[in-house]
């Protein structure tokens, strides 16, 4: 077998072990991170639980999702604050005409200040355009008494939005955990490919020395040595590339856990993959736990509550108002009372008031249109729920099949390694005794190295498929 083919096969295998993780690295590179925060260096040699714990504490996607939860928790306190009183202070000085009647008004939008008519009532013909100074200073308080469910409706929307954020954080955590597990097992796979490549190189170097000794003693043809030299060089190239595959896999692991290190290594034996439930149980578990589906359901609930909250704006509102104020005007008061000290520039005439106000918007076209638009949006959310249910079943089924196929292939991969080892032992014995040649030995070497590489990749395929299946059923929740 051509040694160049051997090298190409090993390079492709090592590239698969590392290259299959590059998509994860690209995805993580697109995750926005807090550039002002630097994670501490990762420990040297990490177990899988260590890697997951580090990612939970430092991975930017998880931290961003948790920060969003904190934000929504703060937002959920906003509508509840409507039950607290609002206190407003106001001070004014202005010039205005003072044509008055006995009418009184109450401005309740900003500050509840009853208008008190104090100047003489005049007719239209006796009105004057002469301005007078006027001043005012006061403190007003508004207290919600009964809102007919308006505040509760807005609170329900905020609480539902918080639930959406929490499910989003769960999804982000599971996605990061999957990336970490893939990267972690990828390092094991890359190291398995490297070991097979280094062992093949060392065996090829020994055979090259045997071939040289045979040529020097005249027992072998010179072509045996040149073929051994070419084979050794090709295995050396494969070994170098396999080392690069390990470095790439370690760098992907560092990125997946949010570490500032260029590469993070692993330690200890590879964790064994857990058994999987039946497909029916897996689908039921995913329906109950999958955060993406739960997030879609929470969005639907939030939209429905938003429709209710918009409609609740048309309900009555009952509140208590009270004001303490001082005022003065520069015009002559009715009944020829004296002008207050300061001619309107000093608000030294005291007043107070307290009242109960019922406000009711009987119709508002914008509010009604907004409520109708929100109700239409509910249908979109319902379709999203149906879409996520369908995707969930497809993902669980696909993951279940992938795990089954990957595990079913393992016995054959082990058999292939055992057969390749036996074949190699025979070829090696024939070469050492002078009955075999370099081509026969290279073919046996290629068969053995390929089987060992395929076994390493097969173990990685099982671990990766099991991790993907665990993500599909939200096993970590």
Predicted TM-score of the model (pTM): 0.78
Residues 404 and 357 placed together within one structural domain of the fold: no
Contact call for residues 465 and 402 (beta carbons, < 8 A): yes
Claim to verify: residue 233 and residue 359 sit in the same structural domain = no
Query: How many Cα atoms within 13 Å fall on the side-chain side of residue 246?
Result: 16
At residue 39, the pLDDT reads 81
262/321 same-domain check? no
Number of structural domains in the chain: 2
* pLDDT score at 16: 40
Contact 258, 35 (CB under 8 A): no
Q: Mean pLDDT across the stretch 113-124? A: 62
Q: Determine the pLDDT at residue 125.
A: 63
Q: Which residue has the tokens 């999958």?
A: 290
Question: 332: pLDDT confidence band, cut at 50, 70 and 90?
Answer: confident
Most confident of 100-114, 328-342, 374-388: 374-388
Q: Would you say how long the chain is, in residues?
A: 477
So what's the pLDDT on residue 110? 55
Euclidean distance between CA atoms 171 and 182, whole angstroms: 16
Give the phi and the psi of residue 114 in degrees, each rounded to 5. -65, 135
Residue 418 pLDDT class (50, 70, 90 cuts): very high
Q: Please indicate, yes or no, whether residues 180 and 283 belong to a single structural domain of this protein.
A: yes
Domain span holding position 345: 84-151+317-366
Range from 5-19, 34-48, 52-66, 398-412 carrying the lowest mean pLDDT: 5-19
The answer, yes or no, to whether residue 13 has pLDDT greater than 90, is no
3-state secondary structure the chain: CCHHHHHHHHHHHHHHHHHCCHHHHHHHHCCCCCCCCCCCCCCCCECHHHHHHHHHHHCHHHHHHHHHHHHHHHHHHHHHHHHCCEEEEEEEEEEECCCECCCCCEECCCCCEECCCCCCECCCCCCCCCCEEEEEEEEEEEEEEECCCHHHHHHHHHHHHHHHHHHHHHHHHHHHHHHHHHHHHHHHHHHHHHHHHHHHHHHHHHHHHHHHHHHHCCCCCHHHHHHHHHHHHHHHHHHHHHHHHHHHHHHHHHHHHCCCCCCCCECCCCCCCCCCCCHHHHHHHHHHHCHHHHHHHHHHHHHHHHHHHHHHCCCCEEEEEEEEEEEEECCCCHHHCCCCCCCCCCCCEEEEEEEEEEECCCCCHHHHHHHHHHHHHHHHHHHHHHHHHHHHHHHHHHHHHHHHHHHHHHHHHHHHHHHHHHHHHHHHHHHHCCCCCHHHHHHHHHHHHHHHHHHHHHHHHHHHHHHHHHHHCCCCC
Q: Are 248 and 18 in contact (CB under 8 A)?
A: yes
Judge contact between 120 and 85, C-beta under 8 A: no
Residues 408-427, mean pLDDT to the nearest whole number: 95
Indicate if 186 and 257 belong to the same structural domain: yes
Per the CB < 8 A criterion, the answer to whether 417 and 425 are in contact is no
**When comparing pLDDT for 116 and 258, which is higher?**
258
Residue 422 and residue 344 share a domain: no
Whether 22 has a pLDDT exceeding 60, the answer reads: no
The answer to whether residue 257 is domain-embedded is yes
d(C-alpha 375, C-alpha 368), whole Å: 11
Give the side-chain half-sphere CA count within 13 A for 195. Answer: 13
pLDDT by residue (tens digit) across 129-148? Answer: 778 787 778 888 889 999 99
**Confidence tier at 324 by pLDDT (50, 70, 90):** confident
Tens of pLDDT along 248-268? 999 999 999 999 999 999 998
> Is the Cβ–Cβ distance between 276 and 398 less than 8 Å?
no
pLDDT in tens, 435-475: 888 889 889 999 999 999 999 999 999 999 999 999 999 99
At residue 417, does pLDDT exceed 80?
yes
In this prediction, residue 334 carries a pLDDT of 72
Q: Are residues 49 and 171 in the same domain?
A: yes
Residue 312 lies in a domain: no
Do 253 and 380 belong to one domain?
yes
Please name which of 79, 83, 76 lies closest in space to residue 142, comparing C-alpha atoms.
Answer: 83
Within-domain flag for 433? yes
Q: Is residue 173 part of a domain?
A: yes
Return d(Cα 466, Cα 16) in angstroms, integer: 18
Last residue of a domain, one of 366, 385, 406: 366
The answer to whether residues 281 and 382 belong to one domain is yes
Distance of CA 117 to the CA centre of its chain: 62
CATH code at 400? Answer: 1.20.1600.10
Verify that 401 and 430 share a domain, yes or no: yes
Which structure tokens are listed for 24? 């994860």
Are 273 and 124 contained in the same domain? Answer: no
pLDDT at 6 over 60: no
Instruction: Identify whether 38 is part of a domain.
Output: yes
Mean of per-residue pLDDT scores for the chain: 85
Per-range mean pLDDT, top range of 15-24, 43-52, 118-127, 384-393:
384-393
Q: In this predicted structure, what is the pLDDT of residue 136?
A: 76
């Amino acid at each position: 077998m051509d040694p160049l083919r051997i090298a190409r096969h090993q390079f492709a295998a090592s590239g698969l072990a590392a290259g299959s993780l590059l998509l994860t690295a690209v995805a993580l590179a697109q995750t926005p991170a807090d550039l002002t925060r630097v994670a501490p260096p990762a420990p040297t040699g990490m177990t899988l639980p260590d890697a997951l714990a580090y990612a939970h504490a430092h991975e930017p996607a998880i931290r961003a999702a948790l920060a969003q939860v904190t934000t929504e928790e703060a937002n959920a306190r906003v509508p509840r604050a409507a039950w607290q009183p609002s206190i407003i202070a106001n001070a004014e000085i202005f010039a205005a005409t003072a044509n008055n009647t006995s009418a009184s008004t109450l401005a309740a939008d900003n500050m509840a200040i009853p208008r008190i008519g104090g100047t003489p009532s005049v007719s239209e013909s006796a009105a004057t355009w002469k301005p007078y100074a006027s001043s005012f200073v006061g403190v007003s308080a508004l207290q919600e008494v009964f809102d007919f469910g308006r505040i509760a409706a807005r609170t329900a929307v905020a609480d539902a939005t918080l639930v959406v954020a929490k499910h989003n954080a769960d999804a982000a955590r599971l996605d990061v955990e999957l990336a970490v597990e893939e990267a972690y097992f990828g390092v094991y796979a890359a190291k398995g490919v490297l070991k097979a490549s280094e062992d093949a190189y060392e065996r090829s170097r020994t055979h090259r020395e045997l071939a040289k000794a045979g040529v020097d003693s005249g027992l072998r043809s010179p072509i045996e040595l040149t073929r051994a030299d070419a084979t050794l060089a090709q295995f050396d190239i494969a070994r170098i590339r396999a080392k690069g595959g390990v470095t790439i896999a370690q760098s992907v692991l560092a990125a997946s856990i949010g570490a500032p290190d260029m590469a993070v290594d692993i330690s200890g034996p590879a964790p064994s993959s857990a058994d999987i439930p039946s497909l029916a149980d897996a689908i039921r578990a995913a329906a109950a736990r999958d955060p993406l589906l739960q997030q879609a359901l929470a969005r639907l609930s939030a939209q429905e509550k938003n429709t209710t909250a918009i409609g609740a704006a048309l309900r009555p509102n009952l509140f208590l108002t009270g004001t303490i104020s001082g005022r003065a005007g520069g015009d002559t008061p009715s009944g020829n009372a004296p002008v207050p000290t300061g001619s309107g520039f000093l608000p030294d005439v005291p007043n107070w008031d307290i009242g109960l106000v019922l406000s009711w918007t009987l119709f508002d076209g914008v509010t009604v249109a907004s409520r109708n638009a929100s109700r239409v949006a509910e249908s979109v959310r319902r379709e999203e729920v149906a879409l996520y249910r369908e995707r969930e079943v497809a993902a669980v089924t696909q993951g279940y099949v992938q795990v089954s196929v990957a595990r079913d292939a393992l016995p054959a991969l082990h058999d292939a390694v055992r057969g390749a080892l036996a074949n190699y032992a025979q070829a090696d014995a024939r070469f050492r005794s002078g009955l075999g040649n370099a081509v026969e030995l290279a073919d046996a070497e290629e068969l053995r190295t390929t089987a060992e590489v395929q076994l390493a990749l097969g173990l990685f395929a099982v671990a990766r498929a099991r991790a993907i299946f665990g993500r599909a059923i939200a096993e970590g929740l």
